[in-house]
Amino acid sequence: MGIAHASDKGTHAVNITIDDGPDPVWTPRVLQVLKDNGVKAVFCMIGEEAAGYPAVVRQVVADGHRLCDHSLHHDTTMGRKPPSYQYSEIVNAKGEIERASGGVKPLYYRAPGGAFTPYSRQIAASIGMRPLGWNIDARDYKRSGALAIVSTVEHELPNGPTILFHDGGGDRSQTVAGLAALLPRLRQQGYAFGFPVR
- Give domain limits for the chain: 15-187
Residues 63/31, Cβ–Cβ less than 8 Å: yes
Q: Tell me the C-alpha distance between 9 and 25, whole Å.
A: 31
Per-residue pLDDT of the chain (198 residues; tens, 9 = 90+): 789 999 999 999 999 999 999 999 999 999 999 999 999 999 999 999 999 999 999 999 999 999 999 999 999 999 999 999 999 999 999 999 999 999 999 999 999 999 999 999 999 999 999 999 999 999 999 999 999 999 999 999 999 999 999 999 999 999 999 999 999 999 999 999 999 999
Name the architecture of domain 15-187.
Alpha-Beta Barrel (3.20)
pTM above 0.85, yes or no: yes
Q: Are 67 and 60 in contact (CB under 8 A)?
A: yes
Query: CA torsion angle for 179, 185, 187, 191 (degrees, to 10)?
Result: -90
d(CA 150, CA 186): 10
- C-beta of residue 22 within 8 angstroms of C-beta of residue 49: yes
Residues annotated as catalytic are: 19, 166
